[in-house]
Amino acid sequence: EPEVTQTPSHQVTQMGQEVILRCVPISNHLYFYWYRQILGQKVEFLVSFYNNEISEKSEIFDDQFSVERPDGSNFTLKIRSTKLEDSAMYFCASSGGGSGQPQHFGDGTRLSIL
C-alpha cells in the first residue's frame, strides 16, 4: 500500500540552527500538509500546500517556517532559528483531493532542539 515517507526519523539540532524536514508524499496525491505534535499534546495543523503554493496555514506557521516542493517527489518543511519549544514530532500528510478529503500520514520526524 502506498505510504508517506519522512526523513530523518530523528533530528537533533542546536538552538538557533536551521533544520529541514523531508517528506515523500504518496505519488499520485496533489495536496500536502505538515502537522506537529508536542509531547503529550494534540496533533496540530501547520500548513497545507497545493499547486506549488500555501493554501492554508495556522497561527503556528509564522515567518520562522517555510515549505517547498523542490522537485516532483519531495515536500520539505524548513524551520529557521530553532527554539527549544520547536521540539516535537512533525508529521507530513498527503491527500488525493482537497477540502475534507482523508489525509494519510507519515511516521513523523522527532525534532529535538538542544
Partner 1 sequence: QKEVEQDPGPLSVPEGAIVSLNCTYSNSAFQYFMWYRQYSRKGPELLMYTYSSGNKEDGRFTAQVDKSSKYISLFIRDSQPSDSATYLCATVRYTGNQFYFGTGTSLTVIP
Q: Which residues bind partner 1 (CB under 8 A)?
A: 4, 6, 31, 33, 35, 41-45, 48, 55-56, 58, 91, 98-108
- First-residue to last-residue Cα distance in the chain: 36
111, 85 Cβ separation under 8 angstroms? no
Pairing of strands 109-113, 10-13: parallel
In terms of CB distance, is 30 or 64 closer to partner 1?
Answer: 30
| Helix, strand or coil, per DSSP, at residue 85 | helix
- What minimum distance in Å lies between the beta carbon of 55 and partner 1? 6
Angle at 13 between CA 10 and CA 15, to 5 degrees: 145
In terms of CB distance, is 35 or 75 closer to partner 1?
Answer: 35
In terms of CB distance, is 55 or 64 closer to partner 1?
Answer: 55
- What minimum distance in Å lies between the beta carbon of 70 and partner 1? 21
- What minimum distance in Å lies between the beta carbon of 102 and partner 1? 5
